[in-house]
């Protein structure tokens, strides 16, 4: 009996492993189809997921039965089906981006030692929705619920950089460009020049523009349509966030924002290339 048990268990284990493998392959097929708006032929799809056409077709027909994919006979392509939209729409309705972002904010604070904020765009301002405070004795604090003008905020500028120029102009026409320190941007021309630099490097800087001695770095978060929705901001004393650290910290903040974008099913646009 002791010897017979492994022989009976092995087929069951093999079936379970095969089931998990099939699910993984099905997810790969859905991911590949989600990358295109026009669908893919069986040959293109099989090549894209590195599976034999026969295996790909078998999985597709199962997904089709549950309406996760559909076949367009006119173009001979497979496309995402309505049930995928139904499932995704439930997530879109229920997602709380601030809550989803919080674990990423905690990791960023732990890695950098500085206070990390999540800002969302609201009207002509940005609003701090949640925060993970630094454990340092001297730290930057922007209480959740506090709003900030966009031109003097790293988070605000990160969001402005990915808006249409006409929309930026309309916001500034309503709010103005109030000076807070000698570093504050106070002309529309300078603001647009700064927004171009932000698009190129992937993050923004509040270089003591609101308060002398305070430096912030921020990067944008995008939704599933590639539209900017929010930003993650790292804030601390300029003595600790020294200019020599800005590039490395900026890349770290941008990576965090990219992770949150992926977490919510968003899609970041490509960086603007340097001329």
Q: Out of 45, 67, 91, pick the residue that ends a domain.
A: 91
| Inside any domain, residue 182 | yes
Residue at 249 is within a domain: yes
- Specify whether 137 is located in the same domain as 74: no
Rounded to an integer, the average pLDDT of 253-259 is: 96
C-alpha dihedral (166, 223, 269, 35), degrees to nearest 10: -130
Mean pLDDT of the chain: 86
What pLDDT is stored for residue 139 in this prediction? 53
Confirm whether 57 is domain-assigned.
yes
139 and 232 in a single domain? The answer is yes
CATH number (domain holding residue 65): 1.10.10.10
Using one digit for the tens of pLDDT, what is the confidence trace for 27-67?
A: 999 989 988 889 999 999 999 999 999 999 999 999 999 99
Here the tokens at position 117 are 């904020």
Q: What does the pLDDT look like over 71-92, one tens digit per residue?
A: 999 999 999 999 888 887 666 5
Is this prediction's pTM over 0.75?
no
Q: Are 114 and 210 within one domain?
A: yes
* 115 and 204 fall within a common domain: yes
Provide the domain count of the chain.
2
Ranking 2-16, 133-147, 159-173 by mean pLDDT, the lowest is 2-16
Q: Count of CB atoms within 10 A of residue 90's CB?
A: 10
Q: Of 91, 120, 153, at which residue does a domain stop? A: 91
Distances (CA, A) of 21 to 24, 26, 49, 110: 5, 9, 13, 36
User: Does 100 share its domain with 236?
Assistant: yes
In a domain, 225, yes or no: yes
Could you tell me if 184 and 246 lie in one domain?
yes
Give residue 36's domain range: 4-91
Q: What are phi and psi of 113, to 5 degrees?
A: 80, 5
How many alpha carbons fall within 13 Å on the CB side of residue 39?
A: 16
Average pLDDT over every residue of 106-132: 91
Same domain, 86 and 104: no
For residues 206 and 215, the answer to whether their CB atoms sit within 8 Å is yes
Q: Say which residue the tokens 């808006």 belong to.
A: 163
pLDDT for res 66:
93
DSSP letter at 151 equals G
Instruction: Give, to the nearest 10 degrees, the angle between helix 4-33 and helix 42-49.
Output: 120
Tell me the H-state helices in the chain: 4-33, 42-49, 53-65, 82-94, 97-112, 154-160, 165-175, 188-201, 246-263
141 occurs within a structural domain: yes
Residues 74 and 140 in one domain: no
Evaluate whether residue 269 is within a structural domain.
Answer: no
| One domain, residues 83 and 101 | no
Angle subtended by helix axes 188-201 and 165-175, to nearest 10: 130
Q: Which residues pair with 65 in a beta bridge?
A: none
CATH number of the domain at 198, please.
3.30.450.40
Q: For 212-239, what is each residue's pLDDT tens digit?
A: 999 999 999 998 889 999 999 999 999 9
> And the tokens for 196?
């171009």
Q: Is residue 275 part of a domain?
A: no
73 and 189 fall within a common domain:
no
Enter the tokens of residue 35: 């990358």
The rounded distance, in Å, linking the Cα atoms of 64 and 70 is 6
């Amino acid at each position: 009996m002791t010897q017979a048990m492994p022989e009976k268990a092995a087929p069951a284990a093999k079936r379970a492993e095969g089931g998990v493998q099939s699910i993984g392959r099905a997810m790969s097929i859905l991911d590949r189809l989600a990358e295109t708006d026009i669908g893919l032929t069986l040959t293109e799809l099989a090549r894209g997921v590195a599976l034999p056409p026969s295996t790909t077709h078998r999985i597709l027909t199962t997904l089709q039965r549950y309406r996760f994919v559909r076949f367009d006979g006119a173009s001979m392509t497979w496309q995402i089906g309505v049930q995928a939209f139904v499932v995704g729409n439930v997530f879109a309705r229920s997602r709380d981006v601030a809550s989803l972002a919080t674990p990423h904010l905690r990791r960023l604070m732990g890695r950098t030692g500085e206070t990390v904020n999540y800002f969302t765009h609201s009207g002509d301002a940005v609003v701090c929705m949640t925060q993970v405070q630094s454990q340092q004795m001297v730290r930057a604090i922007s209480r959740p619920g506090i709003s900030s003008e966009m031109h003097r905020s790293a988070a605000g500028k990160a969001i402005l950089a990915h808006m249409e120029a006409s929309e930026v102009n309309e916001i500034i026409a309503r709010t103005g460009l109030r000076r807070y320190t000698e570093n504050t941007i106070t002309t529309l021309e300078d603001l647009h020049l700064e927004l171009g630099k932000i698009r190129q490097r992937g993050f923004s800087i509040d270089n003591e523009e609101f308060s002398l001695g305070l430096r912030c770095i921020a990067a944008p978060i995008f939704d599933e349509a590639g539209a900017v929705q929010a930003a993650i901001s790292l804030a601390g004393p300029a003595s600790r966030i020294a200019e020599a650290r800005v590039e490395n910290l900026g890349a770290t903040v941008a990576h965090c924002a990219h992770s949150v974008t992926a977490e919510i099913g968003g899609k970041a646009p490509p960086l603007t290339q340097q001329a």
